């Protein structure tokens, strides 16, 4: 997988893109020790199906523009749970009802949490 610095930089792009489209409750988990296909999960919520789609589109666009290739995308049409696979990072954009039902944070509770609050802070100019 990628080195931690690149993964964190890519994760920051995804967190900021999600925030720009109104995503709520971002949680990032370091899953590399337990999940061999990615180093981190980013989990965010959208308020309605169109918001879920807009969040996932923005994340994908911003990461692609930064040179991070989308490996797989699932669920965009339904707008209830969109999975974006970027290799080292997997992004789960949930409608709040689906997030409450599937509770991925509980499922992966053994994984260290990555602090995303600092990723949202505006860098000094």
Determine how many CB atoms are found less than 10 A away from the CB of residue 73.
Answer: 15
Q: Which domains does the chain have, with CATH numbers?
A: 4-116 (3.30.460.10)
DSSP label of 116: -
Whole-model pTM: value is: 0.92
Strand pairing of 40-46 and 24-30?
antiparallel
C-alpha R_g of the chain: 13
> Is the pLDDT reported for residue 2 higher than 70?
no
Q: What pLDDT is recorded for position 124? A: 47
> pLDDT tens-digit profile of 43-70?
999 999 999 999 999 999 999 999 999 9
Structure confidence by residue, pLDDT tens digits, 16-48: 999 999 999 999 999 999 998 999 999 999 999
């Amino acid at each position: 997988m990628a080195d931690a610095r690149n993964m964190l930089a890519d994760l920051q792009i995804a967190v900021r893109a999600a925030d720009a489209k109104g995503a709520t409750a971002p949680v990032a988990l370091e899953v590399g020790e337990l999940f061999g296909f990615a180093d981190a999960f980013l989990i965010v919520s959208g308020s309605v199906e169109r918001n879920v789609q807009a969040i996932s589109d923005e994340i994908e666009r911003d990461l692609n523009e930064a040179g991070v290739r989308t490996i797989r995308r699932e669920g965009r049409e339904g707008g209830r749970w969109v999975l974006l696979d970027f290799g080292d990072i997997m992004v789960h954009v949930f409608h709040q009802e689906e997030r409450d039902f599937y509770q991925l944070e509980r499922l992966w509770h053994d994984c260290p949490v990555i602090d995303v609050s600092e990723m949202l802070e505006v860098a000094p100019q």
